């Protein structure tokens, strides 16, 4: 019988950390990649140390050198994918630095379409992983908060302070839903823009500013 899975995303480092670039770190990454790839074929509850090691072409006892349990590996997988998603958002290109908060917020789902199309199989696995833990939206969203607050200050979004967290969670959940849909069925930029317009209009987005962002 499968073990119960964690209810929240931990904020600590992997149980058995290894220096970057070391043989141990590479083996740990191989297990994480194998587990993620398997999520394209099975649910997180079906993963076992044996199937993961088989996919990674490693001996089963090696699994416990790097992870205490499958739950531990799932925790590490969630953290890794969250950090990767954050990196896409938190490392804006030079050309984006002078854009408004609303421009930067709207740019996330528009850019994600292109990211998903480059590797649909992997994105499906990531969606399965993140959807498995409904609290993944509690990950660090400092830059998203920064841009939401900037958009409010600019007058392009109309939210009270106590509405910011709710909006951010809805926004991130919408991104996950978008990733799932694009990975399953290709949709156009026009459809993404239409959905984005509905979402941001609900947050009191200034109509003229929003049209400028979406059509610019």
pLDDT at 21 over 50: yes
Q: What is the pLDDT of residue 144?
A: 82
pLDDT digits (tens, 9 = 90+) for 85-97: 767 665 554 455 5
For 178-189, give one letter per residue: b (16+ CB within 10 A) or e.
bbbbbbeeeeee
Nearest-angstrom CA–CA distance, 20 and 38? 24
pLDDT digits (tens, 9 = 90+) for 157-209: 999 999 998 998 888 888 878 878 877 777 777 888 888 899 999 999 988 88
Q: What is the mean pLDDT of residues 29-34?
A: 95
| pLDDT confidence band for 9 (50 / 70 / 90) | very low
> Among residues 134, 135, 125, 138, which one has the least CA distance to residue 180?
125
Q: What is the pLDDT of residue 140?
A: 52
Q: What is the mean pLDDT of residues 32-57?
A: 94
Q: What is the pLDDT of residue 92?
A: 52
111 with 88: CB under 8 angstroms? yes
C-alpha distances in Å from residue 143, one per residue of 14, 56, 58, 139, 187: 24, 35, 39, 11, 27
Q: What is the pLDDT of residue 88?
A: 65
55 with 37: CB under 8 angstroms? yes
Q: What is the pLDDT of residue 123?
A: 80
| pLDDT confidence band for 6 (50 / 70 / 90) | very low
Which pTM value belongs to this model?
0.66
Q: What are phi and psi of 85, to 5 degrees?
A: -65, -40
* Ranges in the chain annotated CATH 1.10.10.60: 23-77
The residue whose two tokens read 């990767």 is 84
| pLDDT confidence band for 73 (50 / 70 / 90) | very high
Nearest-angstrom CA–CA distance, 121 and 109? 18
> Among residues 174, 58, 162, which one has the least CA distance to residue 110?
174
Q: What is the pLDDT of residue 13?
A: 42
168 with 188: CB under 8 angstroms? no
Take residue 166 and report the two structure tokens written for it.
């709710």
The residue whose two tokens read 């979406």 is 214
CATH of 23-77 among 2.60.120.380, 3.90.550.40, 1.10.10.60, 2.40.50.100: 1.10.10.60
pLDDT digits (tens, 9 = 90+) for 96-151: 556 788 988 888 777 777 777 777 788 888 878 877 765 555 555 667 888 899 99
């Amino acid at each position: 019988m499968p073990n119960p899975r964690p209810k929240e995303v931990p904020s600590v480092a992997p149980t058995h950390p290894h220096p970057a670039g070391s043989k141990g770190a590479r083996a740990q990454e191989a297990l994480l990649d194998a587990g993620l790839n398997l999520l394209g074929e099975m649910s997180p509850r079906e993963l076992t140390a044996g199937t993961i090691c088989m996919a990674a072409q490693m001996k089963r006892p090696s699994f416990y050198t790097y992870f205490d349990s499958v739950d531990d590996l799932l925790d590490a997988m969630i953290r890794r994918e969250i950090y990767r998603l954050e990196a896409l958002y938190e490392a804006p290109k030079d050309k984006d630095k002078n854009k408004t908060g609303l421009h930067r917020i709207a740019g996330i789902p528009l850019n994600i379409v292109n990211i998903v199309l480059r590797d649909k199989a992997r994105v499906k696995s990531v969606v399965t992983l993140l959807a498995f833990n409904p609290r993944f939206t509690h990950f660090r969203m400092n830059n998203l908060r920064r841009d939401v607050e900037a958009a409010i200050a600019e007058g392009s979004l109309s939210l009270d302070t106590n509405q910011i967290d709710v909006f951010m969670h809805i926004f991130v959940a919408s991104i996950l839903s978008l990733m799932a849909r694009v990975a399953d069925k290709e949709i156009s930029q026009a459809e993404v823009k239409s959905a984005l317009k509905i979402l941001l209009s609900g947050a009191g987005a200034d109509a003229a500013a929003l049209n400028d962002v979406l059509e610019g």
